[in-house]
Chain A
């Protein structure tokens, strides 16, 4: 803004000295220059305001050039009218005024052009910085999600407790211990292998969930049961790999640690319009549970991941009635 101010002031001083050198009085020169200065200042501000809301890809496109031409015309027109009405009786000055119109127009147009370029460069820089910030933010988010999902797969609590169960089984039931080692390694292998944003078929995701719940069933015995209701036509539908894992872990955790009784978790999948809709529910005791289910880090990470992958919010809905907590994930299909 200071640069443009100096530029206009320079123009006015040049104008002032030109009029003086021709031989008009100081007062006349000052008034004429001042009116030109104020008008230029007004229109430069207008250009600036327009640039803030309208930023073109190239600085001098037709729109910007039309604006400059229009504003130059308006400036010179207004300037002529003011000076003419003030110095009507001064024939010599009017003659000078008429003669100087063309050169004045060119000068004013030049000043406006420079101002526009300065604004445009400023705006371009801001825009670039904004884009850069956005890209960095996005990158950081996807990195956090990847890290987070890795941590989710390797919950130490889950891993060490499973190993402890195997430890016990090697004494009492070696056959079962072998089975558990197999389950755990297959589960872990999938967790390290998967590309986190890859789309997989529901059948594969369900297989992974089954591995997890089978391990948990060995740990918790008859307390845990899992019940599937899957429509025939949904198994081949696609969803981001391992996206359901935090929901099922959440359901197991709140189910088993919120109750002392047996716990049944149900998993339902169906096709609704153009979405694959998967619901996972667990028993939930609103009265007894002090921490509210559904606010956890796991579920939040799913929402973020869905937002990044599908660019849509509200694909995850949670609903808690008095006895049941249900999380439903709607996955858009192509």
Chain B
């Protein structure tokens, strides 16, 4: 038996998936969740073979939920209308069900999933999530089992850390498995600038630039932290600040 989880905030939307699942005897529904928080827990607990996932949900959306799961399951998205998402799906191998859908369309999606289960979801979703991030101006991270939403205005700076990045806020930092390039591309260019190979600065948090040794500069932030500025980006930073 294959394990299936349904994640959708509307009970009737879950019920239709449940109804259509009855036609597939080898698929067993093991959990239903009404938001992303429950979804993360359910996926980590059951390690399902297939997840039906809604996109627009309370607090964190479907993409953000996938971002904080370590081992991504196979996913069939169910959504009513989401321009970004639909564009991303159409160019990829992932299937999606546009609500409302029929039993036939549902069966087709299951067939497709049976044929090519192991799909690299992350690369396809990267772009979509990036656009979502631009819209929502927030970063979702997992922190000691809890899910935390950080508005990008609260981010002081982002620091490279092996395969991870450290997202520094006023009090502390959070780890996220992403690249510096990802954030350099996706964060709002009016507020964030990569000032060093290993640092992206929130320009609004800058209080002082001081010269530090010969030919090198250091940025001091509102919370007192100091981070280096590479020589090549010093000019760019000055231009943005209008110096």
Contact = CB atoms under 8 A, between A and B. Distances in A.
A25 to B, nearest CB: 66
A172 B14 CA distance: 12
A238 B138 CA distance: 41
Given A157-B56, A166-B100, A290 B16 contact: no
Interface stretch (B4-12, B174-182, B184-192, B207-215): B4-12
Contacts of A163: 99-100
B85 to A, nearest CB: 12
Given A164-B16, A168-B16, A220-B9, A259 B100 contact: no
A260 B37 contact: yes
A57 interface: no
16 contacts: A157-B56, A160-B81, A163-B99, A164-B12, A165-B13, A171-B19, A219-B10, A219-B12, A219-B13, A257-B56, A257-B59, A258-B59, A259-B58, A259-B59, A290-B137, A291-B136
B15 interface: yes
Contacts of A288: 59, 149
Contacts, number: 79
A10 interface: no
A166 B81 CA distance: 17
Given A169-B12, A256-B9, A259-B58, 8 more contacts: A164-B12, A167-B101, A168-B12, A171-B19, A172-B15, A219-B13, A221-B12, A257-B56
A218 interface: yes
Contacts of A156: 80-81
Given A160-B99, A290-B151, A256 B81 contact: no
B98 interface: yes
B13 A161 contact: yes
A172 B16 CA distance: 9
Given A260-B34, A260-B59, A160 B19 contact: no
A290 B19 contact: no
Interface in A182-236: 218-221
B186 to A, nearest CB: 15
A220 B59 contact: no
Interface string B187-230: 00000000000000000000000000000000000000000000
A256 B35 CA distance: 11
Nearest to B137: A290
Interface in B102-146: 136-138
B68 interface: no
Interface residues of A, number: 25
A221 B10 CA distance: 8
Contacts of B56: 157, 257
A57 B58 CA distance: 61
B34 to A, nearest CB: 7
Contacts of B136: 290-291
Contacts of A220: 9-11
Q: B13, B58, B149 — which one has the most chain A CB atoms within 10 A of its CB?
A: B58
A166 B15 CA distance: 11
B35 A260 contact: yes
Given A157-B80, A257-B56, A259-B58, A218 B37 contact: no
What are the 5 tightest A-B residue pairs by CB atom distance, in nearest-first order?
Answer: A164-B99, A160-B80, A168-B16, A290-B138, A167-B100
A164 B37 CA distance: 23
A292 to B, nearest CB: 10
Given A164-B99, A257-B57, A290 B149 contact: yes
Nearest to B80: A160
Nearest to A171: B19
A161 B136 CA distance: 22
Interface in A252-268: 256-260
Interface string B9-42: 1111101100100000000000000110100000
B58 A260 contact: yes
Interface string B27-71: 000000011010000000000000000001111000000000000
